[in-house]
A and B are shown apart, each in its own frame.
Chain A
Amino acid sequence: MPATLFQKVWDRHVLSNTNEATLLYIDRHLVHEVTSPQAFDGLRLAGRKVRRPDLTFATIDHNVPTEDQLNIGDPLSRRQIETLRSNARESGVNFYDIQSGRQGIVHVIGPELGITLPGTTIVCGDSHTSTHGAFGALAFGIGTSEVEHVLATQTLWQGKRPAALGVEVTGVLPPGLEPKDIILAVIRAIGTAGGTGTVIEYYGPAIRALSMEGRMTVCNMSIEGGARAGLIAPDDVTFEYFTKTERPFAPKGAALDAAIADWKTLATDPDAQFDSHVTIDASKLVPQITWGTNPAMTVDADGRIPTLEELPASVREEAGRAYQYMGLTPGTPVSEIPIDVVFIGSCTNGRIEDLRAAAQVMKGRKVAPGVRTLVVPGSEQVRSQAHAEGLDRVFEEAGAEWRQAGCSMCLAMNPDRLQPGQRAASTSNRNFEGRQGPGGRTHLVSPSMAAAAAVTGRFTDVRRLLDR
Chain B
Amino acid sequence: MNPFTVHRGKVAVLDWTDVNTDLIIPARYLKRIERVGYGKLLFADKRYAAGGAPPIDEPDKHGPLDPSFPLNRPENQGASVLVVGRNFGCGSSREHAVWAVAQAGYAVVIAPGKDEGFADIFEGNALNNGLLAVEVPQADWDRIVELAGPGGAEAVVDLRSLTITVTAGAATVEVPFFIPETRRERLLQGLDSISETLLLETDIARYEQSSPAWIRPTTA
* B27 CB–A CB distance under 8 Å: yes
* B161 CB–A CB distance under 8 Å: no
Contact B194 A153 (CB under 8 A): yes
Across-interface contacts of B211 in A (CB, < 8 A): 25, 27
Contact A38 B33 (CB under 8 A): yes
* A458 CB–B CB distance under 8 Å: no
Contact B26 A256 (CB under 8 A): no
Within 8 A of A (CB), among B1-42: 16-18, 20, 22-23, 26-28, 30-35
* B140 CB–A CB distance under 8 Å: no
Contact A142 B181 (CB under 8 A): no
Across-interface contacts of B56 in A (CB, < 8 A): 76
* A310 CB–B CB distance under 8 Å: no
When each residue 52-84 of chain A gets 1 if its CB lies under 8 Å from chain B and 0 otherwise, what string results? Answer: 001100000011000000000010110110010
Contact B116 A249 (CB under 8 A): no
Within the complex, the shortest CB–CB distance from B79 to chain A, in Å, comes to: 22
Given the known inter-chain contacts A25-B207, A146-B128, A258-B212, please indicate yes or no for A413 contacting B180, CB distance below 8 A. no
Contact segment of B61-69, B86-94, B150-158, B168-176: B86-94
Within 8 A of B (CB), among A426-468: 430, 432-435, 438
Across-interface contacts of B26 in A (CB, < 8 A): 412, 434, 438
Across-interface contacts of B115 in A (CB, < 8 A): 196-197
* A210 CB–B CB distance under 8 Å: no
Bound-state Cα–Cα, A333 to B121, Å: 36
Bound-state Cα–Cα, A315 to B17, Å: 8
* A277 CB–B CB distance under 8 Å: no
Contact A120 B119 (CB under 8 A): no
Within the complex, the shortest CB–CB distance from B155 to chain A, in Å, comes to: 24
When each residue 181-204 of chain A gets 1 if its CB lies under 8 Å from chain B and 0 otherwise, what string results? Answer: 000000000001100110000000
When each residue 133-171 of chain A gets 1 if its CB lies under 8 Å from chain B and 0 otherwise, what string results? Answer: 000000001111110110011110101101000000000
Number of interface residues of B (CB under 8 A): 60
* B98 CB–A CB distance under 8 Å: yes
Given the known inter-chain contacts A159-B182, A294-B20, A434-B22, please indicate yes or no for A258 contacting B217, CB distance below 8 A. no
* A259 CB–B CB distance under 8 Å: yes
Bound-state Cα–Cα, A83 to B32, Å: 11
* A19 CB–B CB distance under 8 Å: yes
Given the known inter-chain contacts A48-B194, A153-B197, A155-B197, please indicate yes or no for A142 contacting B91, CB distance below 8 A. no
Given the known inter-chain contacts A149-B197, A430-B22, please indicate yes or no for A38 contacting B35, CB distance below 8 A. yes
Contact of A256 among B30, B95, B214, B220 (CB under 8 A): B214
Across-interface contacts of A146 in B (CB, < 8 A): 124-125, 128
Given the known inter-chain contacts A19-B182, A142-B121, A146-B124, please indicate yes or no for A126 contacting B93, CB distance below 8 A. yes
Across-interface contacts of A142 in B (CB, < 8 A): 93, 121, 124
Within the complex, the shortest CB–CB distance from A432 to chain B, in Å, comes to: 4
**Which interface class (under 10, 10 to 19, 20 to 34, 35 or more) fits A?**
35 or more
Contact segment of B70-78, B141-149, B198-206: B198-206
Contact of B217 among A54, A80, A413 (CB under 8 A): A54
Bound-state Cα–Cα, A35 to B25, Å: 14
* B129 CB–A CB distance under 8 Å: yes
* A219 CB–B CB distance under 8 Å: no
Bound-state Cα–Cα, A193 to B26, Å: 21
Across-interface contacts of B203 in A (CB, < 8 A): 15-16
Contact A435 B27 (CB under 8 A): yes
Contact A226 B120 (CB under 8 A): yes
Within the complex, the shortest CB–CB distance from A44 to chain B, in Å, comes to: 12
Across-interface contacts of A19 in B (CB, < 8 A): 181-182
Closest chain A residue to B22 by CB distance?
A: A432
Closest chain B residue to A228 by CB distance?
A: B120
Across-interface contacts of B95 in A (CB, < 8 A): 35, 38, 125, 143-145
* B60 CB–A CB distance under 8 Å: no
Contact B20 A432 (CB under 8 A): yes
Contact B45 A438 (CB under 8 A): yes
Bound-state Cα–Cα, A430 to B124, Å: 21
Bound-state Cα–Cα, A428 to B137, Å: 34
Bound-state Cα–Cα, A153 to B193, Å: 10
Bound-state Cα–Cα, A189 to B26, Å: 28
Contact of B22 among A154, A193, A433 (CB under 8 A): A433
* B160 CB–A CB distance under 8 Å: no
Within the complex, the shortest CB–CB distance from B122 to chain A, in Å, comes to: 8
Across-interface contacts of B53 in A (CB, < 8 A): 438
Contact of B214 among A20, A42, A262, A314 (CB under 8 A): A262
B residues with a Cβ closer than 8 A to A are 16-18, 20, 22-23, 26-28, 30-35, 45, 53, 56-57, 86-87, 90-96, 98, 115-116, 119-121, 124-125, 128-129, 180-183, 193-194, 197-198, 200, 203-204, 207-208, 211-218, 220
List 23 A–B pairs whose Cβ atoms lie within 8 Å, in order of A's numbering.
A15-B203, A18-B182, A34-B31, A37-B33, A38-B95, A54-B216, A113-B220, A141-B93, A142-B93, A145-B125, A146-B125, A157-B193, A196-B115, A197-B120, A226-B90, A249-B218, A249-B220, A251-B213, A318-B18, A411-B22, A430-B20, A432-B22, A435-B22
Among all A-B residue pairs, the 4 with the closest Cβ atoms: A248-B220, A143-B125, A143-B95, A145-B128
